[in-house]
Structure 1
Amino acid sequence: MSIKDVCFLCWLLLGACLGAGAQDSLRTYRLLDSVRQLRADTAKVSLLIKKGGENARYFDNHKLDNPFWQEALTLSQQLRFFQGISRAYNEIGTSKRNKSLYIVAEDYHEKALKAAEEAKDTSLIAFSLNNAGVDCRRLDKLRKGFDYHMRALVLAEQINDIRNICVATNSIGNIQLTMEKYGDAIQHFNHALELEEKSHNDLGVAINLGNLGYAYQGQGKLDLAIQYYKRSLNMNLKMDRPIGIAICYNALGAAYKEKKDYAAAMYYLEKALEVNDQVDDKVHVAESYLSIGKLLGAQAKHEDARKYIQQSIDVSTFWGFKSMLMDAYKALAEDYKESGDFEKSLEAVDKSLLYKDSILDERSAMAMTQMQTIYEVDRKDNQIRALEHDKMLGALRTKRNVAISFFLAAFLLMAIVGGFFYIRHRNLKANKQTLQLELRSLRSQMNPHFIFNSLSSIHRYIWSNNQEEASDYLTKFSRLMRLILDNTQHTFVTLNKELESLRLYLDLESLRCNGIFEYRFQIDTEINDDEVLIPPMILQPYVENAIWHGLVHKLPEEKGLLDISIILQKRSLVCTITDNGIGRKKAMEIKDRKGRLHNSVGMKVTEGRIDLIRKINNKEATVTVTDLEDESGKATGTRVTIVLPAEFIF
Structure 2
Amino acid sequence: MSIRNQILIQNLRFLIYSFDFQINSFNFAHETQMKPLFTLLFFCSFVINSAQKSAPDSLLLILSQTNDPDKIIQLQNQISEAYQSSDPSQMQKFAKLALMNSKKSNNPIQKAKAYQNIGISYIILSDYDKAIQNFEASEQILINQKNPSKESQEILAKTLGSKGIAFSEKNNYAKALEYDFRAVKIYENLKNKLQLSKIYNNIGVIYNSIDDGKKALEYFLKANQLQKQDNNPAVAVSASNIGLIYLNQNQKTKAKQYFDESLKAFEIHPNARGLGELYNNYSRYYISENQYDLAKEFLLKAEETFISIEDQFGLSDTYLLLGEIYFKENHPEKSLEFAGKSLEIAKELELPETRMKSEKLLSDIYDKQGNQELALQHLRNYNFEKDNLEKIINEQQRLKTELDFHYEKEQLEKKETEMRAKWLVILGFVVLAFVLVGLFFYFRNREREKTLMLQKQLAEFEHKALHLQMNPHFVFNCLASISSFIMQNGKEDAMKYLSKFSKLMRLTLEFSKESSIPIDKEIEALQNYLELEQLRFNQKFDFKINKDSEIEDDTAIPSLLLQPYVENAIIHGVAPKDGKGFIKIDFTQKDEQLICVIEDDGVGIDTSRELKKNSVNVHQSMALDISKKRLKTLEELENKKVNLKIEELKDENNNSRGTRITLELPLNYIND
Tell me if TM exceeds 0.5: no
TM-score after normalising by structure 2: 0.43
- Higher relative contact order (CA closer than 8 Å, sequence separation 6+): 2
Bigger Rg, which one? 2
TM-score after normalising by structure 1: 0.44
